[in-house]
Structure formats: structure tokens, C-alpha cells
Amino acid sequence: MEPPAIDSIDRKILQEMATDARIAFAELGRRVSLSPSAAAERVRQLESEGFIKGYRAEIDLEALGFTITAFVRLTCDGTRYRPFLKFVQTLDLVQECYHLTGGDAFLLKVMLASVAQLEDLIERLLPYGTPTTSMVLSTPLKRNQNAHLLNSI
């Protein structure tokens, strides 16, 4: 699949917006060498083409007491697959759920306030398959959105 046709200014705008979605058009324009109105028009165009999908606040879950991050791999046979897909939607502690190839069917990223919450989650997953859990000790690399990928297109 061909990468989308965006020019170097659009790429810079996307990188700046990924770093700070609340940047003023005047500052954005200054950083990408456009007038504020031209920068605003480029952002509207990128939105209409689907390159920018909304704006959101990044909430610091650790500051709210969710200090444990864990990944749970789950094997899941065919009969439990669809019920699990419905069930996982009800789990507020699950930040992300990936459907995988290979031996495990799913990978869940969870944020928790205690090991007791993790234990409870694992027990709740048992009817759907066999969970294998890895707790995160640290995060040596965490990228803001996916702005770094723009350098490869």
C-alpha cells in the first residue's frame, strides 16, 4: 500500500499537532513557516482527509493511582472467542486489546491501582481462556502518539 501523499509542511504540522494538539495556529504557523490562517486551513484540510482524528486530553493515570501496568496474553478457543469480545468491552481496566496471530489469541494492556485488582482481573478472564501476565517494571521508550512514524513517509 502506498503511503498517503502529504508534503513536508503537512508532515511538520502533523508532528507538531501530535506533540501538542492545543497549539495555537499562530505558533503552529511560525513553526512550519506559514501564516496563522494558512496553518489553520492546512489543519482543516488534514482533518477532512482523515489524517487528524479529533483532539483529546492525555490523562495521567499514574497520578490518579493507577501505578501498575501489565500485559495479559490470553489463549482463547473458537467457542469462547465471540463471548470474550463482548466481555472485554466491559473491562474498564483494559486500555487496549489486540487480536494476535500465533499461540495467544489476545494481548491486553491493563492499568491497575493494585495487585489485588490484577488478581481479580485474571480470575475474571479464566472462563474465556488461559491468561499469562507480565507486569511492567519501567518504560524505557514511550512515544507521543505516532509522530515519529511521519519521518518514514
DSSP string, 25-75: HHHHHHHHT--HHHHHHHHHHHHHTTSS--------TTTTT--EEEEEEEE
Is 147 inside a domain boundary? no
Is 120 inside a domain boundary? yes
- Give the CATH number, domain containing residue 75: 3.30.70.920
Is 81 inside a domain boundary? yes
Identify the bridge partners of residue 70 per DSSP, sorted by sequence position. 110, 135
- Residue of 7, 5, 13 whose CA lies nearest to 34: 13
Is 123 inside a domain boundary? yes
Q: Which domain holds residue 45?
A: 8-57
Residue 58 has a pLDDT of 80
- Give the CATH number, domain containing residue 33: 1.10.10.10
Q: Could you give the CA distance from residue 49 to residue 43 in angstroms, rounded to a whole number?
A: 10
Structure confidence by residue, pLDDT tens digits, 55-110: 877 888 889 999 999 999 999 988 999 999 999 999 999 999 999 999 999 999 99
Residues 27 and 86 in one domain: no
Residue 5 has a pLDDT of 76
Q: Could you give the CA distance from residue 77 to residue 81 in angstroms, rounded to a whole number?
A: 6
Tell me phi and psi for residue 131, to 5 degrees.
-85, 145
Structure confidence by residue, pLDDT tens digits, 95-151: 999 999 999 999 999 999 999 999 999 999 999 999 999 999 999 988 766 666 676
Q: Could you give the CA distance from residue 90 to residue 24 in angstroms, rounded to a whole number?
A: 37
Residues 48 and 73 in one domain: no
- Residue of 101, 72, 69, 103 whose CA lies nearest to 88: 72
**How many distinct structural domains can be found in the chain?**
2
Is 14 inside a domain boundary? yes
Residues 48 and 100 in one domain: no
Residues 40 and 99 in one domain: no
